[in-house]
Structure 1
Amino acid sequence: MKPLNIVVIGAVAGGATVSSQLRRFLPDANITVIGKDSRMGFATCGMPYVLGGLVESMDSLVSVTPELFRDKKSIDVRLRHEATEIDRPGKKVIVRDLDSGETEALPYDKLVLSPGGSARTPEIPGSPSIPVFTLRHFDDMAEFENYLERTHPQRGLVIGGGFIGVELAENFRQLGIHTELVEHHGRIMPISDPDMSGLLEQEMKENGVVLHLGREVRSVTGDRVCLDDGSEFRADFIAAAVGLVPNTELAEEAGLTIGPTGGIATDPFMRTSDPDIYAIGDAAEGRDWFTGKPKRVPLAWSTHREAFIAANHIAGGNTEMDGLLGTSITKLFSLTAGMTGMSEQMLKEENMAFKTIIHESRSNAGYFPGNGKLRLKIHYDPDTRLILGAQAVGEKGADKRIDIIATAIRGRMTMDDLAAIEIAYSPAYSSPKDPVNMAGYKSMDRPGNRTDGK
């Protein structure tokens, strides 16, 4: 059989992973990877920590190189190249060298789209004299880091209170920068429940971040920022973290179906509306674990899983992408905040009946040094008692509990099962009845009854 010609568009997390998996499954395939950035396979999630100095070098975020892929995997990686057109009838991709301007047509049998997304840049009325930064590409980080090291700014404005916004605010405070954060929602981390967001807001205030919640930037004149409530303050720079726009232009121009979330529509094997073209990562649309409705989760775990699914299917496998929980976690000063599955707002929007259990405790034995506060919140179906979602905020151990519950959801376990999970115990790590166990016990309103048929 003639070796497959496979072209991968995008060389960051999804593109690097899918090409590696393809080589593992298809040792004879001809694989070419096209990337617009100056680096490949870099860890975008680590960028705020490079700026804050917790990660010493931005080069630490680069795990692979084109030379490594060429020498170890026989994969042709072309950085600083852009795919400008997909010729579906001719099964060719038109690629332009961004440095020389030369173009080339690359034939493909299978094409994988991993174009990622572009950072949204908010419109800032007025006449600002201060720089506005976004953090999406490797060169964005390099430019931002250079500015911080060269000018040593004293005051910064963060626009956006999601994952990247709060992480940037923390890292600016670590640098001693007076930081003000503007979020148009009435709370930070609006994806989580209000009471859990409140814990994070308090942590930010205690660490010197000035919050402007439910507010918008009205104008910036010089270095003077004016909000829509009339308040004003100075800033030396603006860091915008207001989400991303999936890069679907190439797919749209090729006539591929775009789903209701704005991502490239895919089937459970990550195939687009063209069976020879696959889409993965931030620009791809999957489906929700609970509802089966279209869902786009621009996070690293889902990208890597989708990369495996696509490579496996191209190689003849039939493993499906069976739904996304949106499991996520972030560090914020002394706290960790994690979640999986449905939030209160999501459940209400879907008109799904649910009950909620909240358990507040220490992360491990209270007498053991280094224990921390932990708040665990779980939503579940009142009839089947299946777990619908969970959130945890704490000084220690939030990650462990969210990971256990994400596993329990995929295993279709009930609240009763949470009480029965035999969790490893030592005073340094847990309690004889772990917070996960306790949440299960607290949900039982009748002695010894089960409703899951086991």
Structure 2
Amino acid sequence: MTVYTEFEDVAYSPCGIPFVHGKEISSFDKLFLATKQQYQEQGIDVHYTTTVDSIDTRNHTITVRGEGKVRYDTLVIGTGWSYADTGVDRRGLRGIYEVKNIRRAMEWDKYLDTVKEAVVVECGPIALEMVSALQHRGIKTTVVDPGPWPMAGVVDPDIIEPLYRDWESSGVTTLWGERVTAFGGNGTLSHVDTTAGRIPAQLAIIGTRKVSNNSLARAAGIDLGSTGGIVIDSHMRTSARDVFAAGDCTEIPHGVTNVPLQGLSGSHAYAQGKAAGVNAGGGDREYQPVYVPWAMLAGEWMIGGISFGETSAAAIGIDFVSGIAKGITRARSPSGVKPITVKLLADPVTHLLIGAQMVGGEGVKERADFLGVAIRAGITIDDLATMENVYSPAIGALDEPISVAAQEVMKKF
């Protein structure tokens, strides 16, 4: 088994980088899953800082820069993602940061010590986490986003509201419905021009959406889908014989709509990689359509959900009935009671659960995992409205917010 990567490292958590920048995680070393020596001991031959120039699917070869043609029996493509182009010339300026590569992050962490003012250019998930990191570093931060609120394509406004209310009260400037038009400075970034005016800044965080890195696959004639991701079947096979693909370079069907999705979470990429590896090695593992349970920590709040929120469901024309409940995650505890809001969406005819969104002080991840299984299993809102739940004052409230939200949905049928 041979791995080719253009990077200095493999298998680490880029999602953890903002938390090292914010000092919640003490070291970048804690983000690595294993050491290079451990990969060698497992029989994995990793070629670091190596470029693959082309794939020849007919002759089962790849062309590796400096090594020539290398034959494969089976090939797994995991070329990942990049940030979408902002369309703004960076002019070679130092101070424009795309949070992704861990070695670059180590260098940027030192640069952050010199920064007093920063601009976040569009507020995707990692950029949203970086806002909290910049606050923890004492850096004055301005968010510039063409959307009406953070992560507007994913999160409903009432769910995200507590987060950006906290941002504004702590001094973060938010410019919704505005765009960056130019980066300025002499060698190093000194200001960012926007449709709302000029902002002094020594740092710009790029937070645009993910796009698939698929130039190799495209040049090899491998089929790409409507999202730009590689089209794969349930066994991660591409349109080319003996070629598999996994992660952000692929597109995966949504379990409710069958609409292809691209740019999911690290847990999805990890599971897809395992499926692709098993099948490339001659095994048989199927990867199911996704319902996308997700959660993230942003400042003092956890936000998350599954499948659709009201905004995204309405955008693609899905009929739904929704209900919302505000509750607490525990009744009494030495560490304090934490609030949580749960919103559920159901099909008005079948009563099947089709989506959920949550925001709270704790417990969002666990509820997203549970609801992800529930939607995959075909659980109805009626089932959730009468669900059993744990009650213990220190760890759980008497009224489970999921059940209460489901009862609110049922009132609208």
Q: Please indicate the TM-score interval, normalised by the length of the shorter structure.
A: over 0.9
Contact 1:128 1:221 in 2 (8 A): no
Q: Deviations over 1:34-90 (max 9, x none)?
A: 11111111111101111122222212212223321111x111111111211112222
Contact 2:119 2:142 in 1 (8 A): yes
Match of 2:410, SS state, is coil
Q: Counterparts in 2 of 1:148-297, with a 5 A limit?
A: 148-149=112-113, 152-190=114-152, 191-222=154-185, 223-229=190-196, 231-297=197-263
Match of 2:53, SS state, is strand
In 1: Cα distance, 2:110 partner to 2:85 partner: 20
Q: Deviations over 1:410-446 (max 9, x none)?
A: 1110112113333222112212231122223333349
Unaligned runs of 5+ in 2: none
2:362: which partner in 1? 396
Contact 2:234 2:287 in 1 (8 A): yes
Match of 1:226, SS state, is strand
The percent identity for this pair of structures is 27
1:66: which partner in 2? 36
In 1: Cα distance, 2:397 partner to 2:17 partner: 35
1:355: which partner in 2? 321
In 2: Cα distance, 1:154 partner to 1:309 partner: 45
Contact 2:146 2:179 in 1 (8 A): yes
Contact 1:159 1:239 in 2 (8 A): yes
Contact 1:43 1:61 in 2 (8 A): yes
Amino acid at match of 1:50: V
Contact 2:342 2:358 in 1 (8 A): yes
In 2: Cα distance, 1:351 partner to 1:255 partner: 33
Match of 2:340, SS state, is strand
Label 1:435 to 1:278 Cα distance change in 2 as closer, same or farther (>3 A): same
- Is the aligned partner of 1:344 residue 2:310? yes
Alignment counterpart, residue 374 of structure 2, candidates 375, 388, 408: 408
State which drifts further: 108-117 or 427-436: 427-436
2:298: which partner in 1? 332
1:119: which partner in 2? 83
User: Number of matched residues?
Assistant: 408
Q: Counterparts in 2 of 1:83-102, with a 5 A limit?
A: 83-96=52-65, 102=66
Q: Deviations over 1:148-186 (max 9, x none)?
A: 24xx21111111112111111110000111111111111
Deviation at 1:126, TM superposition (A): 8.6
Deviation at 1:132, TM superposition (A): 0.8
Match of 2:354, SS state, is strand
Q: Deviations over 1:363-404 (max 9, x none)?
A: 221576511111110110111111010000112222222222
Deviation at 1:125, TM superposition (A): 5.2
In 2: Cα distance, 1:62 partner to 1:410 partner: 31
In 1: Cα distance, 2:381 partner to 2:166 partner: 30
Contact 1:121 1:134 in 2 (8 A): no
In 1: Cα distance, 2:275 partner to 2:33 partner: 22
In 2: Cα distance, 1:369 partner to 1:33 partner: 46
Contact 2:302 2:362 in 1 (8 A): yes
In 2: Cα distance, 1:227 partner to 1:341 partner: 33
Match of 1:219, SS state, is strand
Unaligned runs of 5+ in 1: 1-30, 97-101
Contact 2:57 2:241 in 1 (8 A): no
Contact 1:371 1:396 in 2 (8 A): no
Amino acid at match of 1:179: T
Deviation at 1:129, TM superposition (A): 5.8
Label 1:296 to 1:125 Cα distance change in 2 as closer, same or farther (>3 A): closer
Contact 2:326 2:339 in 1 (8 A): yes
In 2: Cα distance, 1:255 partner to 1:63 partner: 33
2:68: which partner in 1? 104
Deviation at 1:343, TM superposition (A): 2.0
Deviation at 1:225, TM superposition (A): 2.6
What is the TM-score when the length of structure 2 is the normalising length?
0.93
Contact 2:333 2:394 in 1 (8 A): no
What is the TM-score when the length of structure 1 is the normalising length?
0.85
State which drifts further: 164-173 or 60-69: 60-69
In 2: Cα distance, 1:368 partner to 1:440 partner: 29
Contact 1:121 1:240 in 2 (8 A): no
CA RMSD of aligned residues (A): 2.0
Q: Deviations over 1:173-201 (max 9, x none)?
A: 00111111111111112111122122222
In 2: Cα distance, 1:403 partner to 1:293 partner: 21
Match of 1:186, SS state, is coil
State which drifts further: 345-354 or 323-332: 345-354
